[in-house]
Chains A and B, each alone.
Chain A
Amino acid sequence: MSQVSRLSDLYGREGLSPGHSACRGCGATVAVRQILLAAEPPFIVVTPTGCLEVISSQFPYTSWRVPWVHVAFENAAAVASGIEAALRALERKGLGRRHKVIVIAGDGGTFDIGFQALSGAFERGHDLLYICYDNEAYMNTGIQRSAATPLGSATTTTPAGKREQKKDIVSILVGHGSPYVATSSPHLWKDLTNKVRKAQSIEGPTFLHVVAPCPRGWYFEPQLTIKMAKLAVETRIFPIYEVENGKYRINYMINRPRPVEEYLKLQSRFAYLLRPENAHLLERFKQWVEDRWNYLQKMAAVTSS
C-alpha cells in the first residue's frame, strides 16, 4: 500500500467521468471521485439502487470507466460476495483473475434495506471493501427518512422531524469482527484516499462510513457542500476515526468543537429542531454528540494498549 500525501500520488485514471446527472453540489460524487482515484487496481465496483446508480448509468450512457455493476437495492453486499468468491475460483482454475471488490452504497442500501446482505457478507468474511456514502435519507426517491437520518431532521416522511437518533453502523460492523472500520469525509481528501488504500490492503470485509452532504435533501446552498462536511466533523457530529482489529483511533482530534448550531442552522431540515419549543430535542441532539465523542475517546484509551 502506498501512502497518499500529494495529489500526484493518486492514480491518474478517473473512475467516474463528468457528464453524469448528479445535482449541483452533490457530496456523494465528490467522495466517489476520490475513492476511485485512490483505489488500487484491478477492482470492480458494485452499487445498489440509489442516487449514485441512477445518476451514473442512464442507458445508453455510463459514467463508469471502471467495471461496474448494479443489481438491486438490498443486495449489493451479496452481489459483491458472489464476485469475490467466483473470481477466487476462476483464478484457481486459470479461467479468470482476482479483482478487489468495492461496494459504494448509500445509507438506505446500507443501514436499512441492504443491512441483512451486509451483515451476511461481513459475517462470512469476504474480502471486500464496503463504502457507505451517507447523505442521511432516501434522496433518490425524494428525501425520506432512513435509519441514518439524524434526530430532529425533517424528511418527507418525518415532516415534523425524526424522533430517533441515527444508527451506529460503525459499532455494528465492529461487532461483526471486521478488521477495519473507519469514517471519513470528502473534505479530508488525504484521510479518505488513504483509508481507501488501507482498507483495500487488509484481507477481509472492511468498511468506510463517509459523510456525503446533500444540498437538495439537507436544504443548503450547493456551494456549501464541502463546508458542510467540514462543519459536521468540527462540531463532532461526524467524528473521524478508525477501528483496526478492535483498536479505536480518533484520526482527526477536535479539541475545541464548534457549536452544533453552526452546522444545524445552515440546513433547513433542522429548522424544526431549532425552534424554541423544541429546545429539549436540541438538548438530546447535543447530548448524543457528546456521549459519542466521550465513548470514542474512552474506546481509544482502552484499546490503545
Chain B
Amino acid sequence: MYSLRTQRLMTGNEAVAYAVKQADVDFIAAYPITPQTIIVERLSEYVASGEINAEFVPVESEHSALSACIGASLSGARVFTSSSAQGLALMHEVMYIASGLRCPIVMAVANRALSAPLNIHGDHSDIMGSRDSGWVQIFCENPQEVYDYTIQAFRLAEHPDVLLPVTVNLDGFTVSHSSEPVAVLEDSVVKEYLPRHERPRLDYYSPASFGVFALPTHYFEFKVEQEKALRKAGDVFNEVAAAYPDEAGRLVKLDKVNSDGRIALVCMGGTTGTLRHVLKQSASREFSLISLKLFTPFPSKEILEALSDAEGVVVMDRATSPGAPLPPLASNIVASLYEAGINIPVLSVVYGLGGREPTLRLIREMLEKAKERLRTVKVRVNRMYLGYRGEER
C-alpha cells in the first residue's frame, strides 16, 4: 500500500493545494473565504516561490474568480479554483456557464453552511444549492482522499469524452482543517498521469465563437448533449481511476464496509469516518456502511448493487431541501430504489447543519432509533433530524 509514496502531515486544504501544485496547473483564480482560504494562501505561496509555473489572479469576488477561470480554460489552460458557502452561491450563475461551455475546471469546495444566520462551519448546503449545475461532484472523507481525488479530478475533467468541470468536496473544518498523514506521489508520477490534450480554444489563427446564443430551436439539444457528457463521466470515471498509479488511492464511486449488515447507512464526506469508527467499535453486525464518493453523476446502479441485501436504508444528508419531500441524497436514493422496484423502508436523517457535531453518542442513538423505526413503524419513509434540539414535528 502507498508504495510509490512519501508521507507528509497535511490538512485537507493543504492536500488540495499540494495536489494542484503537482497537477502543473497554468491558472488559478480565487477569492478568500473560510474555510477554504488556506488553499488559496498555499497556492499563492507556490506561485510566488516558483514551485508552480502558473498565473495566480487574486480577483475581487468569487463571481469573477470563476469567470476568469472560464476565460482561462477557453484559452487552453489547466485551471483550478476553490470556494465555500457564500462564495459558491455567488458563483452559482457562472457554474452553469462553466459546464455549458464544457470547461474542464477543477474546484475544491470546503463545504460550509449558507447564511442566514451567518455560520462558517461545515455542512453540504453550499454545493447542494448548485446540485443541478452540471458539474461532476466528488466527496472526500479525509485529507488522503482529498489529495488523490483532486489529482484524478483533473484527468476526469479533461477527458475528451467528458470536458466538464469537477468539484472536489471536503467538509469545512472537519476535513479542511484536520491534519493527517497524507501519502503523496512523486511529482513525475503525477505529471505522467496527467497528460495534456488538445481541445477547442480561443485562437486568432483558427477563430471560433464561444458562448453563443441559442433559441428554442437549439437550446434543448445543447443541454441534453451536456447531460449525456455528464453521464459519460460516470463511465470514464473507472478508466480514470484504473490508470491512477497507486491502487490504494484510486477513485471509487462508493466504498462499502460490513457487507453482511442488513441495514445500510449511506453517507458522504467526513462524517463517514465517524460512522466507520462507531461500526468498528460495535459488537453488532446489523449495519453496513456505504460511503458515497461520487454524487453527480449519481451512481444509481452501484448504489442498488450495494443495497441488494439491505432490509432498510438510513440516508444521511448534511443539507436540507426546505419544502421538498426529501433532502438531496435521500431523494436520489429513493428515486433509484423506486426505479429498480425495490420497496425497502428508508430513514432520512438530516444532520450536522452549521457544523453541529454528529458525536459518537448521537450516532449510536441514531443507530438504535434506526433499528426501531425501520422495523416497527409501517411507514416507507421516516425522517429525523440528528442532534436537533427542538420538537421534530
The answer to whether A and B interact is: yes
| A68 interface residue per 8 A CB criterion | yes
Question: Please, what's the 1-or-0 string for B57-94, where 1 marks a CB less than 8 Å from any CB in chain A?
Answer: 11111011101111111111101000000000000011
Residues of chain B from 198 to 218 with CB closer than 8 A to chain A in the complex: 201-205, 207-215, 218
Indicate the size class of the contact surface on chain B.
Answer: 35 or more
- Would you call A71 and B211 a contact (CB within 8 A)? yes
- Would you call A59 and B59 a contact (CB within 8 A)? no
Chain A nearest CB, measured from B212 CB (Å) = 4
Chain A nearest CB, measured from B73 CB (Å) = 8
> Using Cβ atoms and an 8 Å threshold, which residues of chain B touch A41?
204
Chain B nearest CB, measured from A169 CB (Å) = 18
- Would you call A69 and B76 a contact (CB within 8 A)? no
| B29 interface residue per 8 A CB criterion | yes
Question: Please, what's the 1-or-0 string for A42-65, where 1 marks a CB less than 8 Å from any CB in chain B?
Answer: 111010000001100111101011
Count of interface residues, chain A, beta-carbon cutoff 8 Å: 47
> Using Cβ atoms and an 8 Å threshold, which residues of chain A touch B72?
82-83, 85-86
- Would you call B60 and A82 a contact (CB within 8 A)? no
| A193 interface residue per 8 A CB criterion | no
> Using Cβ atoms and an 8 Å threshold, which residues of chain B touch A85?
27, 29, 55, 57, 68, 72
- Would you call B57 and A69 a contact (CB within 8 A)? no
Residues of chain A from 89 to 138 with CB closer than 8 A to chain B in the complex: 89-90, 92-93, 95-96, 99, 116-117, 119-120, 123-124
- Would you call A82 and B69 a contact (CB within 8 A)? yes
Interface-located stretch among A26-34, A73-81, A141-149, A278-286:
A73-81
- Would you call A78 and B212 a contact (CB within 8 A)? no
| A87 interface residue per 8 A CB criterion | yes
Complex: A291 Cα to B53 Cα, angstroms = 51
- Would you call A90 and B26 a contact (CB within 8 A)? yes
Complex: A77 Cα to B60 Cα, angstroms = 11
Complex: A60 Cα to B97 Cα, angstroms = 18
Looking at the complex, which one of B71, B79, B196 makes contact with A46 (CB distance below 8 Å)? B71
- Would you call A70 and B204 a contact (CB within 8 A)? no
- Would you call A53 and B213 a contact (CB within 8 A)? yes
Q: A86-B72, A89-B27 are in contact. Are A117 and B64 (CB under 8 A)?
A: yes
Complex: A95 Cα to B195 Cα, angstroms = 13
Residue of chain B at shortest CB distance from A96:
B76
| B54 interface residue per 8 A CB criterion | yes
| A88 interface residue per 8 A CB criterion | yes
Chain A nearest CB, measured from B102 CB (Å) = 13
Question: Please, what's the 1-or-0 string for B93-116, where 1 marks a CB less than 8 Å from any CB in chain A?
Answer: 110010001000000000000000
| A66 interface residue per 8 A CB criterion | yes
Complex: A95 Cα to B24 Cα, angstroms = 12
Complex: A250 Cα to B212 Cα, angstroms = 38
Complex: A65 Cα to B205 Cα, angstroms = 10
- Would you call A72 and B75 a contact (CB within 8 A)? no
> Using Cβ atoms and an 8 Å threshold, which residues of chain A touch B54?
89
Residue of chain B at shortest CB distance from A76:
B67
Complex: A80 Cα to B211 Cα, angstroms = 14
> Using Cβ atoms and an 8 Å threshold, which residues of chain A touch B27?
82, 85-86, 89
> Using Cβ atoms and an 8 Å threshold, which residues of chain B touch A12?
none
| A67 interface residue per 8 A CB criterion | yes
> Using Cβ atoms and an 8 Å threshold, which residues of chain B touch A119?
60
- Would you call A82 and B207 a contact (CB within 8 A)? no
> Using Cβ atoms and an 8 Å threshold, which residues of chain A touch B68?
78-79, 81-82, 85
- Would you call A72 and B67 a contact (CB within 8 A)? yes
> Using Cβ atoms and an 8 Å threshold, which residues of chain B touch A79?
67-68, 70-71
- Would you call B71 and A78 a contact (CB within 8 A)? yes
> Using Cβ atoms and an 8 Å threshold, which residues of chain A touch B196?
95
- Would you call A68 and B205 a contact (CB within 8 A)? no
Query: Apart from A79-B67, A92-B53, A93-B26, what 13 extra A-B contacts exist at CB < 8 Å?
Result: A44-B202, A58-B214, A68-B207, A71-B97, A71-B101, A72-B97, A77-B64, A81-B29, A82-B75, A86-B55, A89-B26, A89-B55, A117-B63
User: Can you name 10 A-B pairs with beta carbons within 8 Å?
Assistant: A46-B71, A58-B215, A69-B71, A72-B97, A75-B67, A75-B94, A79-B68, A82-B27, A88-B55, A120-B59
Q: Please list the 8 inter-chain residue pairs (A to B) with the smallest Cβ-Cβ separation, ordered nearest first.
A: A82-B71, A82-B68, A120-B60, A42-B204, A86-B72, A78-B64, A75-B67, A70-B211
Name A residues whose Cβ lies closer than 8 Å to a Cβ of B. 41-44, 46, 53-54, 57-60, 62, 64-72, 74-75, 77-83, 85-90, 92-93, 95-96, 99, 116-117, 119-120, 123-124
